[in-house]
Amino acid sequence: MKVLHRDVVPNGPGVVKLVPVDSDDLWLVYNLIATGDRVMAVTFRKVLRAKSGGKNSERVAMKLEIEVEAMDYDKEGAVLRIKGKNILQNEYVTIGAFHTLQLQLCRPFVLTKETWDSLALDVLHQASDPGATADLAVVLMQEGLANILLVGRSVTITSSRIEASIPRKHGPAIVGYESALKTFFENVVQAFIKHVDFNVIRCAVIASPGFTKDQFHRHLLLEAERKQVRPIIENKSRIILVQTSSGYKHSLREVLDAPSVMKMIKDTKAAEEVRTFRDFFDMLSNDPARACYGPKHVGIAHERLAVQTLLITDDLFRSSDVKSRQKYEDLVKEVKKAGGIAHIFSSMHVSGEELAQLTGIAAILRIPLPDLDDIEM
Amino acid sequence: MPRKVNYGVDYDDDYDEYDYGYEVEDNEETPPEQETIKRSVWRCAVCTYDNDETMSSCDICGVLRGPLLKNLTYDEKRAGFNSLAANIFYLKSSRVHSIVVGEDEAVKVSSKRLDSSDVSTAKDKHNRLDEITFNMQSSGKSLLSLMPKERNVMVANSSSSRNGGKAHDLASNLKNISFSAESGHSNDTNPGRANSYAQYKPEKWMLPGKTEHSLAQLNLAIVGHVDSGKSTLSGRLLHLLGRISQKDMQKYEKESKLQGKGSFAYAWALDESAEERERGITMTVAVAYFDSKIYHVVVLDSPGHKDFVPNMITGATQADAAILVIDASIGSFEAGMDGTKGQTREHAQLIRSFGVDQLIVAVNKMDVVDYSKDRFDLIILQLGTFLRSCGFKDSSVSWIPLSAAKNQNLVSAPSDFRLSWYHGPNLLDTIDSFQPPPRDFSKPLLMPICDVIKSSSQGQVSACGKLEAGALRSGSKVLVMPSAIIATVRSLERDSQPCTIGRAGDNVAVSLHGVDANHVLAGGVLCHPDFPVAFAKHLELKVLVLDVATPILIGSQLEFHIHHAKESARVARISSLLDSKTGKVAKKAPRCIVAKQSAVVEVTLHEAVCVEEFSKCKALGRVFLRTLGRTVAVGIVTRIVEV
């Protein structure tokens, strides 16, 4: 994300001009903007023109500033829709009229906020950090099922999902098996070529249980040779093979855990999230009294100053209820002050999704608190 | 007098016998109660409670008083009335509403039936109870004169008047009724009503006659750690019994030597795909047939590799008995027994959860350890303790030392003098000594589809699988689930030979007519058109967590395996934790469940699967939960929450 202009007072009002570059950035913007902020951008509006004989309405490009009331993030389409009331004097649009702004990639916009709290500043800082993109393309497959995922810095997108029914292989049906498998691989190769852009990603991972990945890898290289697909041939060395236990999406965790992949992405947020989540899980199985989840339990643990690591999804920050947002913010700040670590998980990543299933907030504690078990969640 | 005593958590009497260091009462050993005759009382045939003469139905179990049925089937041999009734009716007896009006008798019984379907206790004992109650009913009252629809409506009403503990909607109620309407041998009912919801009458050809082939079917799964010699053992057996011609064997030997895998020559009889042969492993379950003296044996040779356990599950779910193959060589046995990396344990646990209680442990590769008796005894000691903890009874486990490579002790007595210390039966004889498993001939058709073969040349679709219940013959109409299309059976094939009738227990390939190949999928079910099988996404399960490191939390993503289907699943809710000894609710809504705990959980699947409650159909009610390459929990379906 490019920050074109910045004029911010910490914990005070401020203005920034941003240009989102990839879908990750849109996600950050989504987290950044809250109800009540003001966004100005170039947009289109259908305007009624009193014109005899000819078009009655016309799409006019104009610069509008709206006060944000609601937001809608479209992951697959990479667009962020912001709905709100117009507050800028405009010849076409009256003040107070509703409008929906569409923030797209490579289009600048100006954001004005009343209070730039620490979290918002954090996000801004993260956004402008050019390095540390996870950018991994993962083909998670098993016999008959393949998921192609693009792991970004804060977002994981499922580019495509291919399912095929592959018969068993014994007796006369073997021919059927081979041909069905071949068709399946063909489809996956096509999707791979379409979605995986080696200029953007660091490396491609093919993961599966059993030997499907080896078979597919072989097939992919052969196809690339045959059809002379340059990007794949040049980047042969950037394709890694990883063993997982299944081809379902939640096995992405295992992929990110694998040492070969970890090496490539160790400085990125996604890897960190996976590591932290794994630590939480280990703690829960080894010493259940030292791990807890759910807002009530975590709240109690925090009161007793027992929280060592806080895991929280950014979903909770985006709640429109300002009070609860404030509460979580305070929680994060206090944990940090007490010497603990707070990890904000992107709910668009695999581990973030899993954390969200667990109510979205969890903690690893310094001291065991066995009586939490008795308190209702 | 009535015995209202609970026999503990008993799914298939598997789970309570996962002995984690405590003694559990064994249900089947309880002796039947003594008959006591008292005047002016009548003894309930089901729960043996002595009711007052004035009562027209049993006070405890609600079964109508009526003439006892004739022809009880093989089930009769299984267990006495008593333990069955006591088991089933204890926990839920409080749910019986005492609606004591004429027609409602049936309702009461059927609502009881519905209630008790939650009680995951005795299996075929339960089925038998259905037959009994419905027989009594049919002979006692002319309830069947009621239109099926009315009856269903009545039951639906009664179920809504029940405390809404069960979220059955009307549709699933209907389905439940239709299943509870299975009856064994109500020969006294109107034959014209064969397809009414009220009851399912098996046609004459469905039941095995006396003049039929005397060999019974036995599905035998071969499991064990990777490289223990499963495929080689199966290949040897097939060759020795003449199922593989000399020419084929020579071809395998020649080709395998060419590829540098000479020692795998026998395994190639089972591993037919290029991939399997190249790597020297089995990847999917291979099916082969042979005949012993007593049985038609269907051999299900499973993969031993850790990554292929899902394939092993879908293959071995058809098994009636199993052979656990152990590699006796130094180091290999220990590697197999390893908790995390070895498959011996996991396979043994899975096999037990399939309901298999008869096991042969074949200690293979004895030639490598010079047929040492000490090694054999050591293996028996270590593995025996583990098997006992899984729930295998010592009397149903046989231990056989053999060598598949050297053909020792397979079909004949060992010729090698070093094995002369062994005086027991050889492998084939031990297979013959298995008890014939019970078959549900008289239930409506149910066949989970293991495999689909499309022969595009003739536009035919063949579904392969084991018939769990009922029977099929060419021309019968079947309902293909989940696509709910009715198709006709064009032909049946067993062991590559066409056959006319397939019955419960047979492993057949059904060639279907009238359905598109895309609608028949592995993981689906073929069922009777009038008795469709339920399919749902939200299920309530009673699970037992195995000895694994990771706890199960709300929101955990797991892989869900049921008969031949597998789906990705998420734990939606952990309803309660159960006390492993008594089966009662120990804690409501726990935070997580850890190893060796039993709990009731609700899961949400990614896609709907064909499923039945365990109490109705065991084969469609067993589930396995896996994650990160290990089986974390085994369980049964207690309730279908919603579709």
Question: What ipTM is given for this predicted complex?
Answer: 0.72
Is the predicted pLDDT of residue B624 greater than 80, yes or no?
yes
Is the predicted pLDDT of residue A23 greater than 80, yes or no?
no
Contact A211 B279 (CB under 8 A): yes
In this prediction, residue B173 carries a pLDDT of 40
Residue at token pair 């429109």: A320
Instruction: Tell me how far apart the alpha carbons of residues B350 and B622 are, in angstroms, rounded to a whole number.
Output: 11
Tell whether B499 lies on the interface with A, counting CB pairs under 8 A: no
Per-residue pLDDT tens digits for B262-289? 788 888 888 777 778 888 888 888 888 8
Per-residue pLDDT tens digits for B188-198? 333 332 333 34
- Shortest Cα distance from A247 to chain B (angstroms)? 10
The percentage of chain A sitting over the pLDDT mark of 90, rounded to a whole number, equals: 2
- Shortest Cα distance from A125 to chain B (angstroms)? 32
Cβ atoms of B64 and B105 within 8 Å: the answer is yes
Mutant choice from A250, A278, A281, A372 vs B, greatest count of B C-beta within 10 A:
A250
Phi, psi (deg, nearest 5) at residue B430: -70, -35
3-state secondary structure of B47: coil
Burial class (CB in 10 A: 0-12, 13-18, 19+), B10: buried
In this prediction, residue B458 carries a pLDDT of 64
Is the pTM above the cut of 0.80? no
Q: What is the mean pLDDT of residues B405-433?
A: 80
Tell whether B241 lies on the interface with A, counting CB pairs under 8 A: no
Instruction: Tell me how far apart the alpha carbons of residues B172 and B556 are, in angstroms, rounded to a whole number.
Output: 28
Chain B environment of A172 (Cβ under 8 Å): 453
Residue B466, strand partner residues: B507
Cβ atoms of B572 and B538 within 8 Å: the answer is yes
Per-residue pLDDT tens digits for B110-153? 344 434 433 334 344 444 444 444 444 444 344 334 343 444 34
Is the predicted pLDDT of residue B156 greater than 50, yes or no?
no
Instruction: Tell me how far apart the alpha carbons of residues A171 and A159 are, in angstroms, rounded to a whole number.
Output: 37
CA angle A305, A310, A316 (to 5 degrees): 115
Burial class (CB in 10 A: 0-12, 13-18, 19+), B617: buried
Per-residue pLDDT tens digits for A100-155? 888 888 888 888 888 887 778 877 777 776 554 557 888 998 888 899 888 877 77
The DSSP string of B210-261 is: TTS-SPEEEEEEEEESTTSSHHHHHHHHHHHTT-S-HHHHHHHHHHHHHTT-
Q: Given B286, B559, B591, which is nearest A170 (Cβ)?
A: B286
Q: Which of residues 294-323 of B touch A (CB under 8 A)?
A: 305, 307-308, 310
Q: Most confidently modeled of A117-131, A233-247, B10-24?
A: A233-247
